[in-house]
Amino acid sequence: MGDVIDRIRARRRARTELKNPAYEIFIGILSLLSILNLVFVYALHGDTAMQIVLAVMNGLISVIFLIDFVYRMMTSDARWRYFFRGFGWADLLASLPFPELKVLRVFRLLRVFRLMRDLGPRQIWTTLVKDRANSTLMTLLLLGILVLQFGSLSVLAIEEDAEGANITSASDALWYTIVTISTVGYGDQYPVTEAGRVLGVLIIIVGVGIFGTFTGYLANLFLGPAREEAAEKVENSSRAGETGADEADRADDRTRAASAGVAGGAASGAVTAGMSRTDGEDTGSEAERLAALLAQSELLTAEIRRLIDGGATASDSR
């Protein structure tokens, strides 16, 4: 029983600390990338241009992690618990521009893993499917960072020592990758090798997908409320029309009921009058009495038809 209660409490705490599964996955993958970059720094220590590209990417990731720390501190229900028990201090130190402290990003990765484990894979998948907007945005940002880093490193490794190459520095590689991802294509930097051109085609394809999806996301973000408001107005109008039709039907039913009541009362009165006259008459033939009753019946029938036709005409006019 105690284990079940502890599990329930852990899951509730995870839901409280977990900002958004898509966001947490984004931060977790960036943590893995930053740790992988530490390996690249030591593996490529002899190439100055590669080192500059990695330094730029590590700086970008550090800025994102610093914004993440501030965001968690501002939105946390228990800030000091997050800072001391939730490895907030490690998040802050790992965001500083010191290579020796970047290894502390392992604590960020461990926290994300713990929160994901407590929440459960099924709940994570359900949330990602329902919250498609945030999932799409985080995916686009992650793809952009990955393409920027590995595209720059790859094109620099391919073109740096090629004959007649004009992509020979870190700034050239980063500029070429950014321009290609955005599908602008200034043409001032371009690959001269076959492998570099194939890589450029891949970057263009990914860039079209990223910016096309991002444009659709922005359009949905700004136009979504207007569409919802228009749909709500249409729904309210349809409901108002249905309500008016129901009121008209109920009015027609009341008119028919009133007509039938009036006709019934008239028929009852006529029959009573006929019976009283029949009892009071001492003389007269049966044929005369039957003829009088038939004449009264025809008059009542005509009155009932007039009342019903009048009710139908009123309903049609409404």
Taking alpha carbons only, the member of 116, 110, 146 closest to residue 128 is: 116
CA distance 55 to 173: 14
* pLDDT tens digits, 78-102: 788 878 877 788 888 888 877 777 7
* pLDDT tens digits, 188-199: 888 999 999 999
The neighbour count for residue 256, using CB atoms within 10 Å, is 15
Residue 41 makes CB contacts below 8 A (sequence gap 6+) with: 51, 54, 99
pLDDT (0 to 100) of residue 111: 74
pLDDT band for 120, please (50, 70, 90 cuts).
Answer: confident
Report the alpha-carbon angle 174-141-76, nearest 5.
125
Taking alpha carbons only, the member of 119, 149, 167, 148 closest to residue 23 is: 119
CA distance 167 to 287: 123
pLDDT at 129 over 60: yes
> Average pLDDT, whole number, for the chain?
76
CA distance 195 to 116: 40
Q: Where are the alpha helices (H) located in the chain, listed in sequence order?
A: 2-17, 21-43, 48-75, 79-84, 88-94, 105-119, 121-130, 132-159, 170-181, 194-280, 286-317
Output the CA torsion sign for 4, 8, 10, 14: positive
